[in-house]
Chain A
């Protein structure tokens, strides 16, 4: 795996928001890579910086107040942060597409699905309107919307939630992107629909050979679709490794805390073990490790020293002082 050239390489990304109440360090030193055709999961609580990481990749951070203050985002070898707005526009929707959390609000209510799909195709491909319409029919068919020709003429409010998310996915796939970012794509859907949509992602990935960044707070989704996972906490990566390794041998106290707070279906009811406390205020992070105030294994040094991401095992990176002894540091 290591020899494959990464499709996307995020290096030491810092995205901060400069507000009147102070600087919000939403993303504060995130590094990861995505190889062609693989699925990376980004997991974390609300406010851990998952979505901001995704928006940074697409260059959609609202500025002001947001600003990418440091780092590199290399896509197919080019640093996206050096691109002009016009160049980014040609990448958005064509090379890197995105599916959002809430299909109810992510489609424009006053335009037909056809218009919204066709305009995406026309923005990136040199085709006629007729060809774009033909392509839209194919796409809707591909994502499993029955009677696509007729449904194209419908408005978003005439679709159910699951069907709308299929439309969103079809729209994202319209220019065969090599990377699809899915920001909590199943969170707003019913459980049965969630499973269908995840299946659809897997099927589409196989057919189109694209990489996926799956942003979620649901470890169930991760185990279902992801090859590797990055666990994020307070704008920083806490752990980054293969999905199997994370589930079998999660090292970071935050990861194990997340695992323990998932309800398990067992005959004798076990008590849930939630992680105590709340995520920190990103405007005034504690000195030392930002997870220290909530950590079950906190040591005196945790309160003063901020750990670095270190490789504790082959391709298994953890940011925790518990593992700092036997490590080689990879980032600062």
Chain B
């Protein structure tokens, strides 16, 4: 097991080299000039050239890439061209915001998706099955920017019960330790901040949860339908076990493997920063951070953040693979 994990972690190295090359080339292929976007339209040619020289933008690409890679290996993610802030410090604030949002969205998606999928499968072709699967179809097809805007219009503008943006209302004090606001407010016993940050989390979290929820519900349903036909379910029935035990233990554990795959992929995607959701709800996570960096041609921020996102994605997949083993004892790690 440990051997397997260390081998998978070693395989991370070539993946990350590939990702770094890709991130580096992509951002340099995009037309635009960071010096121009910093100085604005009115800057003179000589000012531009001076800044380009200062930022090292005139060096050959391989030198620039080498510098980027060298910094990474020294554990230095570089600093933003725009704000001059250290990217590492920025990410310490942005990453917890994204993780908090993604975890909340995933918890909602898993609980609702799995339960709806199981009930839909057990009561196949019932009104619940038809309703929930139609809703799931809507869920996957709904553009998130539209859904987000509609939620803001309904809950913030019309009813004014939820805040439309940000993580915390102005005026609410929170002493941050981990930068996970919910966690921090529990740790410091600050219930006002807990309530406030939770109300901020609710709308973007639900908006973000819709697509994974719909995918999980559909996957759970089809997987459960398959499993409920198996011989061992008939055996469990013949043993006189309770229906709930058969469905939620015997069937669900067998059906959960493909569902786990979907959960892992979706969770990886959400952690990579839900750009649209974070932008609409002004959620200060890495999705919005990268989005703003791309607009400002902030090369170091884009490169380093993409690298971090890639690491997270690979790690989430590794954890998913390890979890397989616990769900299905027949799986062996070679």
Contacts and interface: CB of A to CB of B under 8 A. Distances in A.
Contacts of B327: 110
Q: Is the interface of B mostly helix, strand, loop or mixed?
A: helix
A58 B235 CA distance: 11
Interface stretch (A37-45, A72-80, A119-127, A274-282): A119-127
B238 A107 contact: no
Interface string B300-313: 00000000000000
A94 to B, nearest CB: 6
A109 B329 CA distance: 8
B245 A119 contact: yes
Interface residues of A, number: 28
Interface in B197-248: 230-232, 234-242, 245
Interface in A83-123: 88-94, 97-98, 100, 102, 105-111, 119-120, 123
Given A89-B240, A89-B242, A157-B330, A110 B254 contact: yes
A108 B254 contact: yes
Nearest to B257: A110
Most buried by A among B232, B239, B241: B239
A285 interface: no
A155 interface: yes
B8 interface: no
Contacts of B234: 60, 100, 106
Nearest to A59: B237
A197 interface: no
A295 B228 CA distance: 40
A140 interface: no
A105 B238 contact: no
A98 B234 CA distance: 10
Interface in A149-179: 155, 157, 168, 171
B328 interface: yes
A123 B329 CA distance: 25
A124 B250 CA distance: 18
Nearest to B329: A155
B253 interface: yes
Contact of B330 (A93, A123, A124, A155): A155
Contact of A105 (B230, B237, B242, B245): B230
Contacts of A89: 240-242
A155 B241 CA distance: 20
Contacts of B250: 108, 111
B114 to A, nearest CB: 16
Interface in B100-126: none
B226 to A, nearest CB: 13
Nearest to B254: A110
A109 B330 contact: yes
A49 B239 CA distance: 22
A98 B238 CA distance: 6
Given A107-B235, A108-B232, A109-B232, A123 B328 contact: no
Contacts of A97: 238-239
Contacts of A110: 253-254, 327-329
Interface string A46-80: 00000000000010100000000000000000000
B231 A105 contact: yes
Nearest to A90: B240
B254 to A, nearest CB: 6
Contacts of B238: 58, 60, 92-93, 97-98, 100
A111 B245 CA distance: 13
Contact of A102 (B231, B242, B328): B231
A106 B231 contact: yes
Contacts of A60: 234, 237-238
A171 B231 contact: no
B236 A108 contact: yes
A292 to B, nearest CB: 34
A120 B239 contact: yes
A92 B253 contact: no
A168 B234 CA distance: 13
Nearest to A91: B240
Contacts of A105: 230-232
A123 B242 contact: yes
Contacts of A88: 240
Most buried by A among B232, B245, B254, B330: B232
Contacts of B232: 105-109
Interface string B74-92: 0000000000000000000
Interface string B268-299: 00000000000000000000000000000000
B245 to A, nearest CB: 7
Nearest to A85: B243
A123 B243 CA distance: 12
Nearest to B256: A110
A100 B240 contact: no
A90 B245 CA distance: 15
Nearest to A155: B329
Given A110-B328, A123-B242, A157-B330, A100 B235 contact: yes
A98 B327 CA distance: 27
B334 to A, nearest CB: 16
Contacts of B239: 92-93, 97, 119-120, 123, 171
Interface in A27-44: none
A91 B240 CA distance: 7
Given A58-B238, A90-B240, 16 more contacts: A60-B234, A89-B240, A91-B240, A92-B238, A97-B238, A98-B235, A105-B230, A105-B232, A108-B232, A108-B235, A109-B330, A119-B241, A120-B240, A155-B329, A157-B329, A157-B330
Which 6 pairs, one residue from A and one from B, show the smallest C-beta to C-beta distance? Answer: A93-B240, A92-B240, A93-B239, A105-B231, A108-B232, A98-B238
Interface of B: 230-232, 234-242, 245, 250, 253-254, 327-330
7 contacts: A58-B238, A88-B240, A92-B237, A97-B239, A124-B240, A157-B329, A171-B239
